[in-house]
Amino acid sequence: MENLLEVVHLTKIFTLGSLLSRIRVRAVDDVSFHIKPAEIFTLAGESGCGKTTLARMILGFEEPTSGQILYQGKEIKKRSRVWFSHAIQAIFQDPFGTFNPLRTVDQYFFETIRNYRLAASREEAVRLIAEKLHVVGISIEEFMGKYPNEFSGGQLQRISIARALLTHPQLLIADEPVSMVDASLRMSIVNLFKDLRERMGMSILYITHDLATAYYVGDRIAVMFRGNIVEMGPVEKVLMEPKHPYTQLLRESIPEADPRKRWSSRISLMETEHQEYLRVGCKFAGRCPYVMEICRKQMPELVEIEGVQVRCYKYVDSRG
């Protein structure tokens, strides 16, 4: 089966500082992965690991420094517009930031329909809007003519999803879609993503720092740390039997609902962020309990162990 999307050795370097003291930061560093049709692929990691920069490159907000992005086998090159294809749409973290508070939300829907010439008349446009709103559980009566502040965060995020569905996309990029939604509504939105995959055959790039929803919704997962993918494979294997020391740290940082297993440790992942981005070898070497001398000198390659790819010298001699 042909991959829907392929990211091949993608790198994004930002230059920071003044003319005399510039530093080059690899926000995304030689990242490769693919997404299959009707698959939910999760990109997980702490804030600042590069996952949103990666999404912005796929969508065309940022140009890669090097590497390729291929859609259905064809390379996506420089684009004159951000929404380069009706086949790929996105929803973002803050549903209230998506819509102008001075415009009614239905105006955005009619604007999208006009831009992509999805309907020949207003009546046809209204039918299309009603159809997509129905998918996300909102009626057109409670939608038409209303402003963003007349909806809850959960409703507005569902409306964002409905708007993305107008063009019948094959891939939906969801960047932290439930992090600003009330906890009681998060699972309903996550379940909606699973329903879109199962009923409509849609693929989803689900970007999150929340391992609980990543485990629940994902088919495969890639864990990022400081611009690198450090572990990638089936979500069950990666999160239940983590191999990379960083993935193990993330897994152990989740408090369990068991008073005998109290979460007493304090984890701070941002203490050495600047140094980790500039590190020559493995970027996790400064905190890794298994660090070896070679880890400080050379970046390890991804090796495959038991169906999981892991970027760690600990497993170099164990590859099967």
When the pLDDT of each residue in the chain is averaged and rounded to a whole number, the result is 87
pLDDT tens digits along 119-132? 999 999 999 999 99
Phi, psi at residue 187, to the nearest 5°?
A: -65, -30
Instruction: Say what the pLDDT of residue 194 is.
Output: 95
Instruction: Say what the pLDDT of residue 264 is.
Output: 42
Return the H-helix or E-strand segment holding 217: helix 211-217
pLDDT band at 277 (very low <50, low <70, confident <90, very high): low
76-96: b or e for each residue (b if 16 or more CB lie within 10 Å)?
A: beeeeeeebbbebbbbbbebe
Q: What is the DSSP string of 87-154?
A: TEEEE-S-HHHHS-TTS-HHHHHHHHHHHHT--SSHHHHHHHHHHHHHHTT--STTTTT--GGGS-HH
β-pair type (308-311, 23-35): unpaired
pLDDT band at 15 (very low <50, low <70, confident <90, very high): confident
pLDDT band at 19 (very low <50, low <70, confident <90, very high): low
Burial of 50 (0-12, 13-18, 19+ CB in 10 A): buried
Between the alpha carbon of residue 292 and those of residues 4, 200, 287, 314, the distances in Å are 38, 48, 12, 9
Pairwise pLDDT comparison (100 vs 86), residue with the higher score: 100
- 100-104, 202-206, 254-258: least confidently modelled range: 254-258
pLDDT band at 245 (very low <50, low <70, confident <90, very high): very high
Compute the distance between CA of residue 280 and CA of residue 290 in angstroms, rounded to an integer. Answer: 17
Is residue 320's pLDDT more than 60?
Answer: no
pLDDT tens digits along 23-61? 888 899 999 999 999 999 999 998 888 999 999 999 888
Instruction: Check if CATH label 3.40.50.300 holds for domain 5-318.
Output: yes
pLDDT band at 303 (very low <50, low <70, confident <90, very high): very high
Is residue 2's pLDDT more than 90?
Answer: no
Instruction: Say what the pLDDT of residue 1 is.
Output: 60
Compute the distance between CA of residue 191 and CA of residue 187 in angstroms, rounded to an integer. Answer: 6
Question: Do the beta carbons of residue 132 and residue 165 sit within 8 Å?
Answer: yes
Is residue 85's pLDDT more than 70?
Answer: no
pLDDT tens digits along 305-315? 999 999 999 98
Burial of 203 (0-12, 13-18, 19+ CB in 10 A): buried
Instruction: Say what the pLDDT of residue 259 is.
Output: 46
Instruction: Say what the pLDDT of residue 255 is.
Output: 55
